[in-house]
Amino acid sequence: MEVTRREALRSVVSKCVPVATAALVLPEARAAETTSQPKAPVGMLYDATLCIGCKACVVACAEANDLPRDVSLDGLHQAPEDLNAFTKNIIKLYKPHDQSPDSFVKQQCMHCIDPACVAACPFKALWKDDENGIVAWEPSRCIGCRYCEIACAYHVPKFEWDMINPKIVKCELCRPRLAKGYEPACTSVCPTHAVIFGPREDLLSQAKERIEQSPNKYFENRVYGEHEAGGTQVLYLSHVPFEDIGLPDVGAAPIPARLNWQKRIYKFLALPLLMYAMLASIMKKNWIDHRREMREEEERTGLRPQL
Ligand code: SF4
Ligand code: SF4
Ligand code: SF4
């Protein structure tokens, strides 16, 4: 018990000091970084007009990512209401109250070309793969600060509220599967090919071809993700307005360029971390004093006090 607590204290102190130091040092380094363009960006094309809402992709995603069945809605069916710590991919139904057409929509990480989450992460837990442009995540570097969650215009990273050491969860375009030569789980099971995988350039050409072949079918005859926030590697075609199915109007400028608040927040991050380190050292001193008192008590009475 004694050793465990001491070890815990040591661990808190030894972790907080470097983290606080990093928080002071990293902002400048992160701010100086520029996002390089990946060599061969891959992505997905989701065509809402082809989706039948079967949710095979949702189940396949959970399986491929070893996520537990999310039955939080009714306790029986895997039917999460939104992306969450157990759900990296979701199908939602947009059903307007008037007679205008309804639509399914698939949501997961958009794999932005210039990702706000990467720019916001103080510890490089999120990064963009140089080769294929996937926005990847390294759990050992993530401290669960949730800056990525705030920065993402698509509300993708989700926090593990139920965990003791919570981090974030998001789609990584099935990169372990890609590394083995497979396509993403969601695209591999889609019965109608509503969502397909491939090089971004090919997907974009294919999307434009579909628009050309059916000029009145798709909303504004355009591909969502071609230019939005600097472009995304997940592209969308829809027969209903993009905003109605949760694809926000984010403008064409990349979001990291607009993150001037980031530097300020990083500076504020250093303050709580330093306070944690100070708190840990006070706890350590109290613990040593307490141990000394216990020894004195034991010598005086012959009784060993319980911790
Ligand atoms: S959608 Fe959000 S989480 Fe995904 S890459 Fe873009 S900013 Fe990051
Ligand atoms: S690419 Fe993989 S992790 Fe992302 S939504 Fe599809 S199945 Fe899920
Ligand atoms: S598997 Fe395909 S058709 Fe079924 S819900 Fe997913 S995207 Fe839609």
DSSP 132-181: T--EEE-GGG-----HHHHH-TT---EE-TT-SS--EE---TTHHHHHTT
57 CB near ligand 3 (under 6 Å): yes
Q: What gap in Å lies between CA 244 and CA 232, rounded to an integer?
A: 19
Q: How far is the CA of 224 from the centre of ligand 3 (A)?
A: 18
* C-beta of 158 in contact with ligand 1 (< 6 A): no
Strand pairing category for 168-169 and 158-159? antiparallel
- Which residue's CA is the closest to the ligand 1 atom numbered 2? 152
Residue 73: per-residue pLDDT:
83
For the CA of 174, the closest atom of ligand 2 is 2
Pocket test for ligand 2, best of 66, 173, 200 (most atoms within 8 A of CB): 173
pLDDT at 78: 84
Q: Ligand 2 mean position to 208 CA, how many Å?
A: 24
Atom 7 (ligand 2) nearest CA: 61
pLDDT one digit per residue (tens) for the chain, 307 residues:
343 444 444 444 444 444 444 444 444 445 444 456 898 999 999 999 999 999 999 999 999 999 998 888 888 888 899 999 999 999 999 999 898 999 999 999 999 999 999 999 999 999 999 999 999 999 999 999 999 999 999 999 999 998 888 999 999 999 999 999 999 999 999 999 999 999 999 999 999 999 999 999 999 999 999 999 999 999 999 999 999 999 999 999 988 877 665 556 565 666 666 666 666 666 666 767 777 777 777 777 766 554 4
Which class for 247: exposed (0-12), middle (13-18), buried (19 or more C-beta within 10 A)?
buried
pLDDT score at 6:
46
Cα 257-263-268 angle, rounded to 5 deg: 150
Residue 249 Cα to ligand 2 midpoint, Å, equals 23
Confidence at residue 272, expressed as pLDDT on a 0 to 100 scale: 65
Asked if 134 contacts 117 with a C-beta cutoff of 8 angstroms, the reply is: no
Rounded-to-integer distance, Cα 227 and Cα 185, Å = 26
CATH fold of 35-259: Alpha-Beta Plaits (3.30.70)
Rounded distance from Cα 15 to ligand 1 centre (Å): 28
CA-CA distance, 144 to 169, in Å (whole number)? Answer: 10
Q: State residue 263's pLDDT score.
A: 56
Would you call 139 exposed, middle or buried from its count of C-beta atoms within 10 A (0-12, 13-18, 19+)? Answer: exposed
What pLDDT does 170 receive? 98
Predicted local confidence at residue 275, as pLDDT: 64
With a 6 Å cutoff on the Cβ, whether 80 touches ligand 1 is no
